[in-house]
């Protein structure tokens, strides 16, 4: 088999980290024939917990896992990596203003962008999960510029995408595997636009438009959107912890599709640096429908989808929020 891929997971002592490392290590992302070395990074106070995760991974006795490194130093963590799952971020503490949270995270992702530029392979593919994910990815890309192409940076909206597909499957009464081509537009936040209008459903053996299978436009423009937008909050309310199993699974889906490519005729949602498609300002990290070519590992934004007035107003609202986040983040970068 081929040389091991070096795969970095930051925040690896956290709850998403704990769920994601097993899936990566056992071949769910890069395949059962691809050896990997997992690099686990967390902050120094979590060094012992991180070491515990490393020991457990060894105890999983996985044939694909050729090594595990647990580090608390960025330079060591980012050295020669092929893929980065950037999950670690500053959590919101009680009484913390949105701006303070943003500023704290900007510092983390500025430093990690620089570490990517200085230590990682120039071909490294980066997924940002830590919130505010889109804007953190924008900051990391900015500080890696010149060394790592901006196309190698992405933020996760795949959990929202999977939630949207699951809601349509439940509504129509089909297994979720029968639903494809839902789209999440914009920010991973409550302004995101989950869009069913280009989705397809296989029902009674026939592939039809999800819109006709659902046959309930007020649901498509109402409860469907708000259920997906607010799902994270509902999970916290019930579990008293934020989504971790489903977030880890979504991160793996995102990276697997980037590595192997999307199936023909299917698109997925990835937040990537806008090239101006659909009128989204260039440079914003914005979730689009994308296809990925597995051999070049290049994504392409699906072009020509019809955007009606309802959709356009949703796209505009999430654009506005991302512009504000970008402006605040770039101001915080200078501090
Ligand atoms: P946890 O608080 O359980 O874990 C986060 C871990 O990151 C901790 O171990 C912490 O020490 C570590 N960390 C903090 N700063 C770090 C740094 N500079 N370098 C390395 N490690 C660092 O949070 P968890 O539930 O795992 O969530 C992680 C992040 O994912 C949060 O920012 C959360 O908001 C975000 N999410 C994003 C989602 C998305 O769809 N994009 C969905 C799930 C999740 O809410």
For residue 203, how far is its CA from the centre of ligand 1 (angstroms)? 38
Alpha carbon separation from 238 to 232, 235, 284 (Å, rounded): 10, 5, 33
| Mean pLDDT, residues 242-257 | 97
Return the residue whose CA atom lies nearest to atom 35 of ligand 1.
130
Asked whether the predicted pLDDT for residue 319 surpasses 90, the reply is yes
The string of pLDDT tens digits covering residues 216-231 is 999 999 999 999 999 9
Predicted pLDDT of residue 334: 86
Per-residue pLDDT, averaged over 95-112, amounts to 90
Place of tokens 């806008």: 274
pLDDT at residue 54, as a whole number: 98
Q: Which of 13, 14, 161 to mutate to test the pocket of ligand 1 (most atoms within 8 A of CB)?
A: 14
For the segment 232-247, what is each residue's pLDDT rounded down to a tens digit?
999 999 999 999 999 9
| 92 confidence band (pLDDT: 50, 70, 90) | confident
Helix (H) or strand (E) holding 291: strand 285-293
Q: Specify the residue for token string 């809601």.
A: 167
**Radius of gyration for the chain, computed over Cα atoms and rounded to the nearest angstrom:** 19
pLDDT digits (tens, 9 = 90+) for 117-162: 999 999 999 999 999 999 999 999 999 999 999 999 999 999 999 9
Answer yes or no: are the C-beta atoms of 195 and 167 closer than 8 Å.
Answer: no
CA angle 142, 151, 155 (to 5 degrees): 75
Residue 94: predicted pLDDT: 75
| Cα–ligand 1 centroid distance for 72 (angstroms) | 15
Please report which helix (H) or strand (E) contains residue 268, including its range: strand 268-273
Share of the chain above pLDDT 70, in %: 100
Which tokens hold the place of 265? 């005729």
Using a 6 Å CB cutoff, which residues line ligand 1?
A: 10-11, 13-17, 41-43, 46, 87-91, 108, 129-131, 133, 156, 159, 188, 242-244, 247
Whole-Å CA distances, 13 to 46, 51, 91, 175, 212: 7, 9, 14, 34, 45
* ipTM of this predicted structure: 0.99
The whole-number pLDDT of residue 99 equals: 84
158 Cα nearest atom in ligand 1:
40
Query: Active-site residue 119, yes or no?
Result: no
Q: Which fold has domain 5-155?
A: Rossmann fold (3.40.50)
Binding site residues, as ranges?
11-17, 42, 92, 98, 105, 129-131, 163
Q: Which residues of 18-52 are buried (b: 16+ CB within 10 A; e: fewer)?
A: bbbbbbbbbbbbbeeebbbbbbbbbeeebeebbee
Asked whether 44 and 7 are in contact (CB, 8 A), the reply is no
* pLDDT of amino acid 50: 98
The pLDDT of residue 1 is 56
Task: List, for residues 70-88, the tens digit of each pLDDT value.
Answer: 999 999 999 999 999 999 9
What's the pTM value of the predicted model, to 2 decimals?
A: 0.98
Give the residue-averaged pLDDT of 30-53: 98
**Residues 126, 155: Cα–Cα separation, whole Å:** 8
Domain boundaries, the chain: 5-155, 158-325
Select 158-325's CATH number: 3.30.1490.20, 3.40.50.1000, 3.90.110.10, 3.50.50.60: 3.90.110.10
Among the listed residues 119, 161, 188, 259, the single catalytic one is 188
């Amino acid at each position: 088999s081929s040389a091991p891929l070096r795969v970095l997971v930051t925040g690896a002592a956290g709850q998403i980290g704990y769920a994601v490392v097993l899936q990566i290590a056992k071949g769910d992302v890069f395949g059962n024939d691809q050896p990997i070395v997992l690099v686990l990074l967390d902050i120094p106070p979590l060094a012992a917990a991180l070491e515990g995760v490393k020991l457990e991974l060894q105890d999983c006795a996985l044939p694909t896992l050729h090594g595990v490194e647990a580090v608390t130093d960025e330079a060591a963590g980012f050295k020669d990596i092929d893929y980065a799952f950037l999950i670690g971020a500053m959590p919101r503490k009680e009484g913390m203003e949105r701006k303070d949270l943003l500023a704290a995270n900007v510092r983390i992702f500025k430093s990690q962008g620089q570490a990517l530029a200085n230590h990682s392979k120039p071909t490294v593919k980066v997924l940002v999960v830590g919130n505010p994910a889109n804007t953190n990815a924008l900051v990391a890309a900015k500080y890696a510029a010149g060394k790592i192409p901006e196309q190698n940076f992405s933020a996760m909206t795949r959990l929202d995408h999977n939630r949207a597909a699951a809601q349509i499957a439940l509504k129509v009464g089909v297994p979720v595997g029968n639903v494809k081509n839902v789209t999440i537009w914009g920010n991973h936040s409550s302004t995101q636009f989950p869009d069913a209008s280009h989705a397809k459903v296989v029902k009674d053996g026939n592939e039809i438009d999800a819109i006709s299978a659902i046959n309930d436009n007020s649901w498509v423009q109402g409860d469907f959107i708000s259920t997906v937008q607010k799902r994270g909050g509902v999970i916290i309310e019930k579990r008293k912890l934020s989504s971790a199993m489903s977030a880890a699974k979504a991160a793996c889906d995102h990276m697997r599709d980037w590595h192997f490519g999307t199936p023909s005729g299917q698109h997925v949602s990835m937040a990537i640096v806008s090239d101006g498609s659909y009128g989204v300002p260039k440079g914003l990290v914005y979730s689009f429908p994308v296809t990925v070519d597995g051999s070049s590992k290049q994504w392409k934004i699906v072009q020509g989808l019809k955007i009606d007035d309802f959709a356009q107003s949703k796209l505009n609202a999430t654009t506005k929020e991302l512009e504000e986040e970008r402006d605040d983040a770039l101001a915080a970068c200078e501090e």
